[in-house]
Amino acid sequence: MTIPPIGGVQGVSATGYLPSVQPAASSDGSGFASSLTGAVDGLQQLQSNSNTLAVKAVTGSLDDIHTATLAATRAQVTLEVVAAVRNKGIDAFNEIMRMQA
């Protein structure tokens, strides 16, 4: 028995939480900045969708509570991933600063 892919949550891809990140062609750091901007924008969209569905669930206008639960979980997991990437970036920056001192 196979499990079908998760779908039906507006604004969320069934294949992943964050938009795909393309490798940067330039070496000036703009590709990295645009990747981070895209990840944060995707997170904001997930959180907005989750909040909208939560309000619908509370007011009784949502037919399927599983949709709201999935959206909230995806937003939470994505936030944890973005926070972990941010923390690793800060750790790497601090390590580089210690090497230069």
pLDDT tens digits for range 17-27: 555 555 545 56
* pLDDT surpassing 70 at residue 14: no
Radius of gyration of the chain (CA): 18
Residue 22 is predicted with a pLDDT of: 56
What's 25's DSSP letter?
A: S
Q: For residue range 22-54, what is the model confidence (pLDDT) as tens digits?
A: 554 556 778 888 888 898 999 999 999 999 999
Contacts of 72 (CB under 8 A, 6+ apart): 50, 53, 54
Torsion of CA 95, 76, 10, 4, to 10 degrees: 100
pLDDT: is 55 or 101 the higher one? 55
The candidate with the shortest Cα–Cα distance to 71, out of 41, 51, 85, 90, is: 51
Residue 9 is predicted with a pLDDT of: 47
Domain ranges of the chain: 36-100
The candidate with the shortest Cα–Cα distance to 6, out of 80, 54, 64, is: 64
